[in-house]
């Protein structure tokens, strides 16, 4: 065990030097992946500034007006010799030391820096390290343990045997992309158990090698309430929602939230195939027979007239432009971006834009995002920017037309997954959307199987009638069929 001094700056007490880079991994433990419900195929990373480092025994502020400061006990690797394009077999010899880290993060600031974590994890004091360094040459990187205590209670306890990606692999992977230099720090991820901490809480993290007795000692950090908040004139303000609360606390239950809503409705493969075959005109006829006339999304035209649109509605609502509301709701990770990020395979994004054609409601980037997510299509009763680029993406899109202007000319992105009005009809999340060259229709989920079966039956009958007309028979008595023609039709079909 060693104890070096980087400089007179107390933040770097115990480190060999002030790090040039701090690289952190997003998700690396089996237990954390199971908790989050996603398992990455490869590691992904973000940077933290060296100004975020703090020594053991210090404090960290939770900024005024925020609620979701979370701890993450981690194993930190400190690079000893330059590493560039090294192999996993050789990577560990470039690591000088191992110590404890607390990768603190403020979930209130995640939304607008999603993935990069610049503000949410870059704050002063958000990377406590220490207190002691373990010589990497004396330990097995596959036999380390990390534990975290909050107010004396053990809340995290895992080993490197539970990693998705070994410690040497992380070093080797990063060295593919840039040179790891002496003093650089790699934060290797946190296991399950990370949660929210409040002013007055004391967090302790220890990394050790149970087989040898080597230990970093306990890295201690006390949370205090900050007096300063954030200036909305300079940048986006902190904001939280239930998704951020659940991720910060570790689960919806721990955050005091109700259980996750029931899974969104899906179309079976059989019903989807039938809807792909049934023409919108036939579906409209069957809905009208059942008393539903106002179920067409009017005024929209397809960018791909030959493509069939079939899916379940995912809704997005714009309200008319008001400059102060656009300033608060139009930028950053707004409702429009959240809707396109949340759509999944087989869903159709349906946008309420009040028939306003004087602005775009999406462009090629969002069309690409929807396509990548597996969305079945997009329907908007507003305009589309970059029309040719959107059409080139290949996803079925219905719109009132092209317009070069961005949202802020006519719209404020307001909310998603709510009941909306699009093209003169009401659309609810979960409604079934079908479109072809004739237009787009909305089918209540409770009626979809009955309506599509009836539409296909009618289509078969209409095709038989058309064949008889082509043979030279007059339409009188045939369309619709009288009793004689009906008997012949049933006989030919074996009924």
Is 390's pLDDT higher than 50?
Answer: yes
Q: Select the highest-mean-pLDDT range: 3-17, 60-74, 102-116.
A: 60-74
Q: What proportion of the chain, given as a percentage, has pLDDT over 70?
A: 98
End-to-end CA distance of the chain: 89
Say if pTM beats, i.e. exceeds, 0.85: no
Q: Are both 4-249 and 269-446 of the same fold? A: no
Is 429's pLDDT higher than 80?
Answer: yes
C-alpha dist (Å) from residue 166 to 5, 20, 85: 29, 23, 17
Q: What proportion of the chain, given as a percentage, has pLDDT over 90?
A: 75
pLDDT tens profile 250-268: 988 898 888 776 667 889 9
pLDDT tens profile 327-340: 888 888 899 999 99
Question: Half-sphere exposure of 390 toward its Cβ, with a 13 Å CA cutoff?
Answer: 27
Given this structure, which CATH class describes domain 269-446? alpha beta
CATH architecture for residues 4-249: Alpha-Beta Complex (3.90)
The whole-angstrom separation of Cα 55 and Cα 105 is 17
pLDDT tens profile 80-129: 999 999 999 999 999 999 999 999 999 999 877 777 899 999 999 999 99
The strand pairing partners of 214, in sequence order, are: 209
DSSP 291: T
Output the CA angle 35-223-218, nearest 5 degrees: 75
C-alpha dist (Å) from residue 10 to 14, 15, 52: 9, 10, 13
C-alpha dist (Å) from residue 183 to 5, 148, 326, 368: 12, 24, 45, 41
- Mean model confidence pLDDT for the chain: 92
DSSP 2: B
DSSP 192: T
Is 13's pLDDT higher than 90?
Answer: no
Q: Where are the beta strands (DSSP E) in 367-458?
A: 377-380, 383-384, 397-399, 401-402, 411-416, 420-422, 425-427, 432-436, 439-443
The full DSSP string for 220-286 is EEEEEE-S----TTTSPPP---HHHHHHHHSSTTTTTPPPPPPPPP---HHHHHHHHHS-HHHHHHH
The whole-angstrom separation of Cα 355 and Cα 400 is 7
Number of Cβ within 10 Å of residue 5's Cβ equals 12
Domain locations in the chain as residue ranges: 4-249, 269-446, 450-492
Whose structure tokens read 């009288």? 482
The whole-angstrom separation of Cα 294 and Cα 422 is 11
The whole-angstrom separation of Cα 102 and Cα 78 is 15
Exposed e or buried b per residue across 131-167, where buried means at least 16 C-beta atoms within 10 angstroms of its C-beta: bbbbebeebebeebbbbbbbeeeebbebbbebbbbbb
**Both tokens assigned to 59:** 């404090």
Number of Cβ within 10 Å of residue 309's Cβ equals 24
C-alpha dist (Å) from residue 313 to 39, 107, 198, 341, 366: 28, 30, 40, 15, 17
Whose structure tokens read 């689960």? 251
The whole-angstrom separation of Cα 54 and Cα 250 is 25
pLDDT tens profile 451-491: 999 999 998 888 888 999 999 999 998 888 898 888 888 88
* Burial (Cβ within 10 Å: 0-12, 13-18, ≥19) of residue 304: middle
C-alpha dihedral over 304, 307, 310, 315, to 10 degrees? -10
C-alpha dist (Å) from residue 398 to 355, 438, 466: 12, 11, 30
Exposed e or buried b per residue across 473-494, where buried means at least 16 C-beta atoms within 10 angstroms of its C-beta: eeeeebbebeeebeeebeeeee
């Amino acid at each position: 065990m060693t104890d070096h001094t980087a400089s007179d700056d107390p933040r770097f007490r115990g480190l060999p030097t002030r790090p040039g880079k701090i690289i952190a991994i997003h998700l690396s433990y089996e237990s954390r992946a199971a908790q989050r419900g996603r398992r990455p195929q490869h590691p992904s990373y973000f940077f933290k500034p060296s100004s975020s480092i703090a020594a053991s025994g210090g404090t960290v502020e939770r900024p005024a007006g925020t609620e979701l400061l979370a701890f993450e006990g981690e194993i930190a690797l400190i690079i000893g010799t330059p590493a560039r394009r090294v192999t996993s077999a050789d990577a560990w010899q470039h690591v000088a030391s191992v110590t404890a880290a607390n990768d603190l993060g403020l979930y209130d600031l995640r939304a607008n820096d999603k993935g990069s974590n610049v503000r949410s994890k870059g704050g002063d004091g958000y990377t406590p390290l220490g207190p002691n360094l373990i010589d990497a040459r004396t330990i097995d990187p596959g036999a380390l343990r990390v534990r975290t205590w909050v107010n004396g209670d053990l809340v995290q306890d895992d080993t490197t045997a539970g990693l998705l990606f070994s410690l040497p692999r992380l070093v080797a992977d990063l060295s593919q992309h840039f040179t790891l230099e002496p003093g650089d720090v790699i934060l290797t991820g946190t296991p399950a158990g990370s949660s929210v901490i409040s002013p007055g809480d004391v967090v302790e993290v220890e990394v050790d090698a149970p087989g040898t007795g080597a230990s970093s000692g306990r890295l201690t950090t006390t949370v205090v309430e900050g007096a300063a908040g954030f200036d909305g004139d300079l940048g986006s303000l902190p904001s939280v929602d239930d998704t951020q609360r659940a991720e910060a606390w570790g689960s919806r239950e721990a955050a005091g939230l109700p259980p996750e809503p029931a899974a969104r409705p899906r179309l079976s493969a059989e019903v989807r195939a039938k809807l792909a075959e049934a023409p919108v005109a036939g579906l409209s006829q069957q809905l009208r027979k059942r008393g539903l006339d106002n179920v067409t999304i009017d005024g929209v035209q397809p960018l791909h007239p030959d493509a069939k649109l079939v899916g379940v509605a995912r809704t997005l609502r714009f309200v008319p432009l008001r400059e102060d509301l656009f300033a608060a709701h139009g930028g950053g990770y707004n409702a429009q971006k959240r809707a396109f990020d949340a759509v999944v395979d087989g869903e159709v994004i349906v946008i309420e834009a009040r028939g306003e054609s004087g602005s775009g409601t999406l462009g090629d980037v969002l069309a690409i995002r929807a396509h990548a997510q597996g969305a079945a299509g997009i329907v908007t009763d507003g305009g589309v920017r970059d029309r040719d680029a959107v059409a080139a993406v290949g996803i079925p899109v219905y719109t009132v037309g092209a317009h070069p202007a961005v949202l802020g000319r006519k719209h404020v992105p307001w909310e998603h997954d709510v009941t909306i009005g699009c093209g003169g009809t009401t659309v609810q999340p979960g409604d079934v959307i079908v479109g072809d060259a004739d237009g787009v229709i909305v089918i209540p989920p409770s009626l979809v199987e009955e309506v599509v079966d009836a539409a296909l039956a009618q289509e078969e009958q209409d095709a038989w009638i058309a064949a008889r007309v082509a043979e030279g028979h007059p339409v009188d008595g045939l369309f619709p069929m009288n009793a004689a023609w009906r008997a012949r039709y049933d006989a030919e079909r074996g009924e």
